[in-house]
Structure 1
Amino acid sequence: MRRSPLTAGLLYLGLGVLFTIFAVQNVSESGWGFFSYLFVILATLDFGSGIRMIMLHIKIKSIQKNKK
């Protein structure tokens, strides 16, 4: 089943928010450890992928609009 880039982008942004929350909680409980850095890295990758997918969706829509 194929998903639209917009759906995938929103999913990635949601995961980025979730990993950011996990990182903040982990840092407040035990300081900057391995899992804190791991959560920050995962959040960064998810935010980057989410933004890229949303930009792809916008580009596809503009191409489809110009064809009409």
Structure 2
Amino acid sequence: MADEVPHPYSIEVSPLAKPEGHFQWAIRRSGTLIERSDRPYRSEARAHESAMEAVERMVKPGADSGRR
């Protein structure tokens, strides 16, 4: 999958206050929070990469279709 997030998903990467200089991500589907990172990432790029991996798992055939 490319770096493009498939519709209707969106990824938000934001800085953390603690630990300073780290980032977290959140995935939304049609504006509703679906999943959030449970650990800090040392770079914004790594946080985005991890979020993309999570989205890919969600849209992969055979993924848990009960998650909403």
TM-score of the two chains, using structure 2 as the length reference: 0.33
Larger of the two Rg values belongs to structure:
1
Larger RCO of the pair (alpha carbons < 8 Å, separation 6+): 1
TM-score of the two chains, using structure 1 as the length reference: 0.33
More helix by share: 1
